[in-house]
Structure formats: structure tokens, C-alpha cells
Amino acid sequence: MWNQQNTQGFISKKAIIEIANLLNISTIEVEGVISFYHFFHQKPTGKYIIYLNNSITSEFKGFEIIKTTFEKETRCVFNKYNNNPLFSLFETSCIGLSDQEPAALINFYPFTDLTPKKVISIIKKLKNNIPIETFADNPISKIQYVPEEDKTVFFKKYITGNSIKNLKKETSESILNKISKVNLKGRGGAFFPTALKWKACKNNTSSKKYIICNADEGEPGTFKDKALLIDFPGLVIEGMIIAAFVVGANEGIIYLRGEYKYLLSKIEKTIDEFYKNNFLGKNILGITNLNFDLKVELGAGAYVCGEETALIESLEGKRGEPRIRKYFPTDVGYLGKPTIVNNVETLANAARIVELGTNYFQNIGTDKSKGTKLLSISGDVAKPGIYEVEWGITVKELLRLCQATSPNYVQITGPSGECINESEFDRKICNEDLVCGGAIMVFNKFRSIIQILENFTKFFKSESCGICTPCRAGNQILFEKIQKLKKGLCTATDLQEIKDWGNIMKLTSRCGLGKTSSNTFSTAIEKFNDYFKLKILNEDESQNVEFDMENAIQEFDSVIKNNHH
């Protein structure tokens, strides 16, 4: 698919028929896959495809004016196929650059800190055929270390191959003990104990197993894995080799989100070097039975593919729809074989644990959270970016480090997490208190909470794969409630209904997207109670308001249209 998309700018009817014949499936199935992913198109696109990020941080940093400038300069309209041979414009939800907003990808090259002037200059250069790679930006990825250098994991000098050299004196069991001793949990946000996952896969007797690195961080506000892939791709690969050693796997895949396509060559170069040094391939470093081959596959723009079973479906060339949890991937995963899916940061940590030893980790963090955590901080702060912090740091301390300005609302873990208000800034980031997958979004007291929630709700509505009703309908209903709130037509009953729908979605949705997408809205109503009280009508007033249904439907339709491409 990527080949077709890259060479022709879209996947034509002819190509669809060819793919269907090749795979012996119907053309409808092929179209179903194409329509699932944001970066595949069935209509011709221009030579330059521009994806402008519409996250809430981008909205607050000038999204609308940047969008207008792109439209004016290219004479195209966003989210439409304009029949323009040069440009196509689309909005997209998260491109992992929230610390450098407004940002866009142009033919998957990053352009950050956009201003109208910068947009005018970019479009002029593209019209003049100046090669895009000569003036694309290099996104800042530098990790900032706090509070003390000797209590860090990623600041410790990384020497390629150190952790896998240690495998010569280890066994599967000894490594499982180490990983378990420091209580390493999945760093993508699910926090499943890594040792348990690896042990389950190890215990499966299948002769074919896979290790998959989930490099599909798509939660708006999250960009910490990108830093590891830029600065320490080798460490991530070493984590995969260690996982392969433990469970007995001999093949691995890095599932790299399409938005990070510009990192592909660097990762592939690292893989080549690993092969040259016998860190990959047959009989790695002469260790008996350690054979491991690795490749990278690109995602194509779908948030839900961060869910491990959806990711596996996507790797198998299908729509990235989460599987029903009949089996764990550790038993039935990629191509039906036992599979480990681990996040980038989890794998990098595993490599460091094997290299630095458990004592090192046990002296950092809290009782239940050992070591450090990478956090991507964005929003109303003077110093956004990626921070390595010791587990247990308070929100207040974080806000001081990133120089937050008049913080009022902090979003933990991104839209699927929870929001906290000023009275909670003494809470700690760790398993015992505020669990955080990696994103911290800070909003000051001048920001509209309704605007934040509208952005999040729109995001989930558009990213739901739609396969199960509670998530499909629930996210639509939450979006409608936001529209009502904006119009000043919400009552206390509506707020209660929002919470009720949240509970239904949490209990009955198939995957994490549906289970968590109402979290923020429901918690915001509680935590910013005074704010919401001012925004709602009392029930008597609501009887007197004439609701202009026709107008509401028209407005709603236009939002849906604009939101869909």
C-alpha cells in the first residue's frame, strides 16, 4: 500500500484490483483497509501532502491562523481533494511535536514552530521546486534530565552492545527475576508487568515467536518515545534482543508510526550496524540459540493501532481493529504465533536493567515505581520538551521545572488520562498516586476548559474504529453534549448523562480507546465543578430555551464534514 501511495500519491482503482488479485481477497476488503488509515488516499493528491496537527496545544498556539495561511498560499481547502497537482491539505490529530506547535508534516518531513511568515516561505520554496529535505526542520528531541544526574537511566552513557554482551552470563530466568525485581511495567500507558508478559510468552512451547516494538505513540501530547528513537535506537533494539533471548523468539518488528517516517533511515542504519557487529542475525555474540532478525514496518496513521492487538492486525495488513480478548498475544499474536508487544521506553528500560543491574534501579524512584520516567511536557510552559524524572516527583515540582505560567488545569497521560486542578498539584507521578503514560499538558487559567474537552472529544470520535457500539455511539454523544455546553444549553441532567455514558463506555467497550475516552470529561466535571456550574442552565431555565434543532443539525453536519477526509 505504501508503495502505491508513495509512487502515485494515491491508491488507484487499478492498484486496488491488483492488490486484491495478489492477495486473493475482494476489492472491498482492500478498500476497507485503505479507508481505515489517514495516510492512504483513494483520490489523487498533490505532489506535496501537508498534514497540519490540530491538537489542543496547536489550537492554543495559533492553529487557525496557520491553517488559513496554508489555504491562502496553496489555494486549497483542508480535508478536501482539491484537484491541485501541487498541494493537498489535511488536518491530523497528533504528530508527536506538541512541544513545537503549530507543526505540520509535509511529505512526512517535519516543520515546527510555524508562523504565517514561515508558512509563506515554505510554500514559496515548494512552488520553486527547492528540495524539501534541504529546508525541513530537525525536531528538537533532547531529553532534559532532572533532578540529579546520578539518578537517571537514559543519561548514563550508552555503549552499543553492553546489555546484550551481559546475556552471556544470564539465563531466561535470571533476567525475568531482574525485570520483576525492579517492577518494570509497560511504559506505553497500560502498565502491565513486563516480567509477567515475557514469562507467559516464554512458557508457550511454540517454535515460532515474535517480538514487536510498539513505536506508535499517538496520544496527543506524547512525544517521548520519539526522543529514544532518535537518540538511543540501539538501546531499544537491545531491549528487543533481550526479550527474544528470554522468550525464545527469532524475529522482531519495529512498528513505527507513519508520523515518524523521517526516523526510518536512522533506525534502519542502526539495524544494519547491529547486523555487522553480530548483535543481530545468527548466533548473536556466539550465544547458543540466540538468533534474531529485525525489520521496521510503517504505520499509516491510526491512533487505535497503539493498542497491541490492533497493532498486530495492522502488521498483518488489515484494518487496525482491536481483537476480542479471547487470547493474549503472548499465546496468539502476530500471524497466530506467541508475540510480545512492548513499548519503546519499556524495551529501552529492560536493556538498561540488564546492563546496570537491579541495585541501580532500586535506589531510584518510589516503593512501587523503580527508576525514572520520560515525560513529554507541552502547553502553557516556557520550557516544553522531554524530561527524565525520578518516579515520585510532584506535579508542582514538574510545573516549576518546565516554568508553567499560571497553571490551572493539567492533563495527565493525554486525553485518555485524567485532568487535575490546582488543589492536586502536590500529587506524585508514580504507581502509588498519579499513573502517567508519558504526556503532561499544562493549561493556564485563561484557557477554556470547554475548548480543551471539545478538542479531546472530537479526537476520540474521529479515532474510534467504530466496531463496538458503546465507543462509537458514546463518543458521538459526548461530542453532542460539548456542542450543547458551548451553546449554553446544558443542564445538570446533561452532566449526569455524560458521567453515565462514561461508565457505560468504560464497562462495555472492547478496547482501551472506548474504555478511557470519557475519563477526562467525567473527571473535569467533578474537578472544575465551579466552572461547570457557571456554564449550565438550571432545569427551569432550560424549559424556556427554544432549541433551534435545524440550525444545530446543520452546524453539526458541517463539523462532521470538516472532520472527515
Residue 369 or 464: the one with the smaller Cβ distance to ligand SF4 is 464
Contacts with ligand SF4 in 346-375 (CB under 6 A)? none
Residue 253 or 513: the one with the smaller Cβ distance to ligand SF4 is 513
Residue 67 or 461: the one with the smaller Cβ distance to ligand SF4 is 461
Answer yes or no whether residue 464 interacts with ligand SF4 by CB under 6 A: yes
Q: How far is the CB of 503 from ligand SF4 (least distance, A)?
A: 14
Set of cell numbers at residue 204:
508457550
Answer yes or no whether residue 119 interacts with ligand SF4 by CB under 6 A: no
Residues 6+ apart with CB under 8 A from 438: 187, 188, 189, 217, 219, 222, 224, 225, 345, 373, 374, 375, 376, 413, 414
Set of cell numbers at residue 224:
517521548
Coil, strand, or helix at residue 117? helix
Residue 143 or 513: the one with the smaller Cβ distance to ligand SF4 is 513
**Using the rule CB under 6 A, which residue among 49, 354, 513, 524 binds ligand SF4?**
513
How far from the centroid of its chain's Cα atoms is residue 273's Cα?
28
Contact 369, 431 (CB under 8 A): yes
**Using the rule CB under 6 A, which residue among 309, 509, 519, 520 binds ligand SF4?**
509
Stretches 168-176, 207-215, 228-236, 464-472: which one binds ligand SF4 (CB under 6 A)? 464-472
Site string for ligand SF4, 281-320 (x = CB under 6 A): -----------------------x----------------
Answer yes or no whether residue 437 interacts with ligand SF4 by CB under 6 A: no
Buried b (16+ CB within 10 A) or exposed e, 417-440: bbbbbeebbeebbbbebbbbbbbb
Residue 310 or 430: the one with the smaller Cβ distance to ligand SF4 is 310
CA gap 509, 485 in Å, rounded:
25
Q: How far is the CB of 471 from ligand SF4 (least distance, A)?
A: 3
Q: How far is the CB of 462 from ligand SF4 (least distance, A)?
A: 11
**According to the 3-state scheme, what is the secondary structure of 158-226?**
CCCCHHHHHHHHCCHHHHHHHHHHCCCECCCCCCCEHHHHHHHHHHCCCCCCEEEEEECCCCCCCCHHH
CA separation (Å) from 85 to 49, 50, 122, 187, 488?
Answer: 10, 13, 17, 42, 44
307 closest CA partner among 514, 155, 23, 482: 514
**Using the rule CB under 6 A, which residue among 471, 477, 489, 525 binds ligand SF4?**
471
Number of other CB atoms surrounding residue 213 within 10 Å: 28
Count of CA atoms in the C-beta half-sphere (13 A) of 415: 29
Answer yes or no whether residue 472 interacts with ligand SF4 by CB under 6 A: yes
Answer yes or no whether residue 465 interacts with ligand SF4 by CB under 6 A: yes
Answer yes or no whether residue 522 interacts with ligand SF4 by CB under 6 A: no
Residue nearest to ligand SF4 (CB): 514
Answer yes or no whether residue 466 interacts with ligand SF4 by CB under 6 A: yes
Stretches 54-62, 190-198, 492-500, 507-515: which one binds ligand SF4 (CB under 6 A)? 507-515
Answer yes or no whether residue 164 interacts with ligand SF4 by CB under 6 A: no
Q: Which residues bind ligand SF4 (CB under 6 A)?
A: 304, 322, 464-468, 471-472, 509-511, 513-514
